[in-house]
Amino acid sequence: MAKKTIADVDVQGKKVFMRCDFNVPLDKHGNITNDDRIVKALPSIKHVLEHGGALILASHLGRPEGKPDPAYSLRPVAKRLSELLGQEVLFCEDCVGPKAKAMAAALQPGQVLLLENVRFHKEETIKDKAAKEDLQLRELKDAFARQMAEMADIYVNDAFGTAHRDNASMYTVPQMMKGKPRVIGFLVEKELQYLGAVLKTPKRPFVAILGGAKVSDKIRVIENLLEKVDRILIGGAMAYTFLKALGKSIGKSLCEDDFLDKAQGLLDLAKDKGKEVVLPVDNVVAKEVRPNVGYKVVGEDIPADWIGVDIGPKTRELFASKLKDAKMVVWNGPMGVFEVEPFDEGTKAVAQAVAEATSRGAQTVVGGGDSASALAKLGLHDSISHISTGGGASLEFLEGKSFKCIELLDEKP
The catalytic residue positions are: 37, 214, 369, 392
Three-class secondary structure of residue 384 per DSSP: coil
241 neighbors 259 (Cβ within 8 angstroms): yes
> What whole-number distance in Å separates Cα of residue 137 and Cα of residue 1?
30
DSSP class of residue 174 equals H
> What whole-number distance in Å separates Cα of residue 313 and Cα of residue 283?
8
Identity of the amino acid at 187: L
> What whole-number distance in Å separates Cα of residue 397 and Cα of residue 271?
24
> What whole-number distance in Å separates Cα of residue 34 and Cα of residue 36?
6
Name the residue among 245, 244, 243, 234 with its Cα closest to residue 211. Answer: 234
Q: 155 has which bridge partners?
A: 17, 182
Preceding peptide of 342 cis, ω within 30°: yes
β-pairing, 15-20 vs 54-58, is: parallel
Sheet containing strand 206-210, edge to edge, reads 276-278, 231-234, 206-210, 328-332, 363-366, 386-387
Is the CA virtual torsion 150, 156, 162, 166 positive or negative? positive
Say how many C-beta atoms besides its own lie within 10 A of residue 294's C-beta. Answer: 8
Sheet containing strand 182-184, edge to edge, reads 89-92, 112-115, 54-58, 15-20, 154-158, 182-184
> What whole-number distance in Å separates Cα of residue 285 and Cα of residue 91?
50
> What whole-number distance in Å separates Cα of residue 27 and Cα of residue 213?
26
> What whole-number distance in Å separates Cα of residue 124 and Cα of residue 142?
10
Burial environment of residue 383 by CB neighbours within 10 A (0 to 12, 13 to 18, 19 or more) = middle
State the Cα angle at 59 between 105 and 69, rounded to 5°.
Answer: 100
Say how many C-beta atoms besides its own lie within 10 A of residue 342's C-beta. Answer: 15
Rg (CA), the chain: 23
Tell how many helices (H) and how many strands (E) occur in the chain: 15, 15
